[in-house]
């Protein structure tokens, strides 16, 4: 993917990855495809769950184990695919995946590479890399300058919040 440089941030735990997901949700809309890469346990589903929650999805959001794709109803439909189990998808499996992605949903695909050639152009690619313990390096790549600007602002916001966590509520005075 050409275009602007990838953005990088460090997540120091599942909450930080979820905060990124909530922020991403605000930058995504119907028809957007997000590809998520990273080893087992890197946090792909954690990120997807946070995106879905922020889009109003209430039920469980887990990696679809027996189906490749699942759709959740939110303010915007959310399509969640996990191609981990697919070794070499046949046309029917690819067809089902494309059907689930549709053109009306925010679609997020874990382990997308086996499907890659058959998928539409992603608006965003996310890679999560293990960096020891709970630390993950997150690399965000988009060719869309408007999304890139939004991501840049989001990453800056998350870094600032991390450096200056919200103050504890002060105990009430007097009393
Ligand atoms: N910084 C972090 N970001 C996300 N998850 C983290 C982080 N640190 C620890 N974790 C833990 O790592 C696990 C990530 O699991 P998750 O299912 O999100 O990974 P995944 O990339 O979807 O894996 P899989 O490839 O098996 O689908 C969770 O148990 C989560 O609590
Ligand atoms: Mg997963």
Domain boundary assignment for the chain: 7-162
Mean pLDDT of 5-13: 97
pLDDT reading at 175 higher than 70 = no
- Per-residue pLDDT at 27: 98
Q: Which of 41, 63, 70 to mutate to test the pocket of ligand 1 (most atoms within 8 A of CB)?
A: 41
Q: Which pLDDT belongs to residue 116?
A: 82
So what's the pLDDT on residue 162?
78
**Ligand 2 centroid to residue 173 C-alpha, Å:** 47
Is the minimum distance from the CB of 148 to ligand 1 under 6 angstroms? no
Residue nearest to atom 11 of ligand 1 (CA): 14
For the segment 54-66, the average pLDDT, to the nearest whole number, is 88
Cβ neighbours around 169 below 10 Å, total: 6
Average pLDDT score over the chain: 92
Task: Evaluate: CB of 13 within 6 angstroms of ligand 1.
Answer: yes
Return the beta strands (E) in the chain as ranges. Answer: 7-11, 33-37, 69-72, 78-82, 106-110, 124-130, 136-141
Residue 161 has pLDDT above 90, yes or no: no
User: Residue 2: its pLDDT value, please?
Assistant: 54
Specify the pLDDT at position 41.
96
pLDDT tens-place string over residues 100-131: 999 999 999 999 999 988 999 999 999 999 99
Distance 140 CA to ligand 1 centre (A): 17
pLDDT at 156 over 50: yes
Residues 36-55: what's their mean pLDDT? 98
What percent of the chain is modeled with pLDDT above 90? 79
Do residues 64 and 80 lie in contact, with contact meaning Cβ atoms separated by under 8 Å?
Answer: yes
Hey, is 104 helix, strand or coil? coil
The whole-number pLDDT of residue 172 equals 75
- Does ligand 1 lie within 6 Å of residue 61's CB atom? no
pLDDT of residue 1: 47
* Ligand 1 pocket mutation pick from 13, 21, 42, 62 by most atoms within 8 angstroms of CB: 42
* Homologous superfamily, domain 7-162: P-loop containing nucleotide triphosphate hydrolases (3.40.50.300)
């Amino acid at each position: 993917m050409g275009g602007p440089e990838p953005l990088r941030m460090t997540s120091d735990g599942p909450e930080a990855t979820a905060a990124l997901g909530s922020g991403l949700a605000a930058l995504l809309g119907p028809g957007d495809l997000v590809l998520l890469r990273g080893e087992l346990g890197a946090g792909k589903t954690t990120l997807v769950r946070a995106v879905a929650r922020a889009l109003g999805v209430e039920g469980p959001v887990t990696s679809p184990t027996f189906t490749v794709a699942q759709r959740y109803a939110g303010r915007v439909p959310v399509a969640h695919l996990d191609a981990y189990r697919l070794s070499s998808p046949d046309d029917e499996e690819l067809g089902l995946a494309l059907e689930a992605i549709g053109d009306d949903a925010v679609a997020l695909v874990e382990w997308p590479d086996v499907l890659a050639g058959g998928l539409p152009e992603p608006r965003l690619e996310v890679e999560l890399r293990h960096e020891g313990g709970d630390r993950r390096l997150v690399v965000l790549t988009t060719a869309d300058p408007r999304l890139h600007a939004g991501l840049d602002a989001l990453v800056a916001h998350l870094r600032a919040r991390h450096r200056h966590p919200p103050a504890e509520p002060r105990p009430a005075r007097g009393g």
